[in-house]
């Protein structure tokens, strides 16, 4: 058979290309450590998502120094939690599962992108260097609301990140001249201790209290506002720790019986 020199040249060139393709993919896997999302996670029945420790309360958790895990549930037509808040420059492993049909979890503009299959858990470990807000979309057609299926991922600068949760126990009503006592529970989800200040406002009164919450624990702080300093009537209260704020209203005096049936 007579093969022209140019044809032989092209056969060699195409072999070079194929070898080049294989070399770059190998470099990506071995050199850069890029992985594919696979089925190595244990399966989970979509009906049991609510009983699973990870997914019954979709959240972000710190699991080690610079290591976080995000448990995400997707369903028609939303992602939980929304927004997902993570720190920059930390390893975050996303575990994503579906409650109903096939979705995807795609952080727009990044390779953080996986199919989400009911019964399977997709796991991806990524590290975001750039703080900012990223969109999360579903790129598998999943029903009539598919185009509205979106979530968001907020990447906080590492030193501004906290997993603090606040809950406040406050009376709805106190008698005239009685003290108002707020019990503030501060939950610190990070492994590090949280040293912070609780700011409390009741009516025109402001109070401040320093508190240290050990890593992974909840601390209670009681703040009492002297009843003599408060005007009768409805008083707004607020309690804040860092960026978390809780607010409410307390009625001072007995003039707020809802029906007002007594003269």
Partner 1 sequence: MDDSGISTEISHDEFDPIGTLALIALYFVVLTLMWLFTYFVEFVGNAPTPTVLL
9 sits near partner 1 (criterion: CB under 8 A): yes
21 sits near partner 1 (criterion: CB under 8 A): yes
Name the helix (H) or strand (E) containing 11: helix 5-26
Residue in 39, 51, 127, 217 binding partner 1, rule: CB under 8 A = 127
72 sits near Cu ion (criterion: CB under 5 A): no
Identify which range of 58-66, 95-103, 179-187, 214-222 contacts Cu ion by CB under 5 A.
Answer: 95-103
What is the CA angle 125-149-50, rounded to 5?
65
Residue in 128, 136, 184, 189 binding partner 1, rule: CB under 8 A = 128
In whole angstroms, give the CA distance from residue 211 to residue 95: 33
In whole angstroms, give the CA distance from residue 237 to residue 235: 6
- Nearest Cα neighbor of 74 from 114, 131, 133, 128 is 114
Site size toward partner 1 (CB under 8 A) is 30
Identify which range of 16-24, 86-94, 118-126, 139-147 contacts Cu ion by CB under 5 A.
Answer: 139-147
96 sits near Cu ion (criterion: CB under 5 A): no
Whether residue 118 contacts residue 98, with contact meaning beta carbons closer than 8 Å, is answered with yes
137 sits near Cu ion (criterion: CB under 5 A): no
In whole angstroms, give the CA distance from residue 134 to residue 108: 7
Which residue lies nearer to partner 1 by CB, 20 or 175? 20
Task: Dihedral sign for Cα 228, 221, 86, 129, please.
Answer: positive
CB of 75 to Cu ion, least distance (A): 8
Which residue lies nearer to partner 1 by CB, 139 or 251? 139
What one-character DSSP code corresponds to residue 1? Answer: -
CB atoms within 10 A of CB 120: 21
129 sits near partner 1 (criterion: CB under 8 A): yes
Site size toward Cu ion (CB under 5 A) is 4
Residue in 138, 174, 221, 225 binding Cu ion, rule: CB under 5 A = 138
- Nearest Cα neighbor of 152 from 84, 69, 215, 235 is 84
Residue in 11, 15, 22, 34 binding partner 1, rule: CB under 8 A = 34
Report strand pairing: 59-64 vs 132-137: unpaired
Residue in 11, 19, 26, 28 binding partner 1, rule: CB under 8 A = 28
Sheet of strand 218-225: strand arrangement = 164-169, 180-188, 218-225
Which residue lies nearer to partner 1 by CB, 13 or 263? 13
Site for partner 1, rule CB under 8 A = 2, 4-6, 9-10, 13, 17, 20-21, 24, 28, 32-37, 91, 109-112, 114, 124-129
């Amino acid at each position: 058979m007579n093969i022209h020199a140019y044809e032989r040249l092209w056969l060699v060139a195409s072999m070079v290309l194929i070898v080049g393709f294989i070399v770059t993919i190998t470099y990506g896997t071995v050199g850069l450590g890029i992985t594919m999302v696979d089925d190595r996670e244990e399966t989970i029945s979509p009906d049991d998502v609510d009983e699973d420790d990870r997914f019954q309360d979709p959240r972000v958790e710190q699991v080690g120094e610079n290591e976080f895990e995000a448990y995400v549930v997707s369903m028609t037509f939303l992602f939980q939690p929304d927004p997902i808040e993570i720190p920059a420059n930390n390893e975050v492993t996303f575990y994503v599962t579906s409650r109903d049909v096939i979705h995807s979890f795609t952080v727009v503009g990044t390779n953080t992108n996986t199919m989400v299959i009911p019964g399977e858990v997709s796991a991806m470990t990524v590290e975001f260097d750039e703080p900012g807000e990223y969109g999360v979309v579903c790129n598998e057609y999943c029903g009539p609301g598919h185009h509205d299926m979106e979530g968001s991922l907020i990447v906080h600068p590492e030193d501004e990140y906290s997993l603090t949760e606040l809950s406040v126990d406050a009376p709805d009503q106190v008698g005239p001249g009685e003290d108002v006592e707020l019990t503030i529970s501060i939950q610190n989800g990070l492994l590090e201790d949280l040293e912070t200040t609780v700011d409390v406002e009741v009516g025109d009164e402001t109070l401040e209290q320093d508190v240290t919450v050990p890593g992974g624990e909840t601390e209670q702080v009681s703040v009492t506002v002297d009843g003599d300093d408060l005007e009768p009537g409805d008083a707004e209260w607020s309690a804040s720790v860092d960026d978390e704020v809780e607010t409410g209203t307390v009625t001072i005096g007995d003039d707020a019986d809802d029906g007002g049936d007594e003269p």
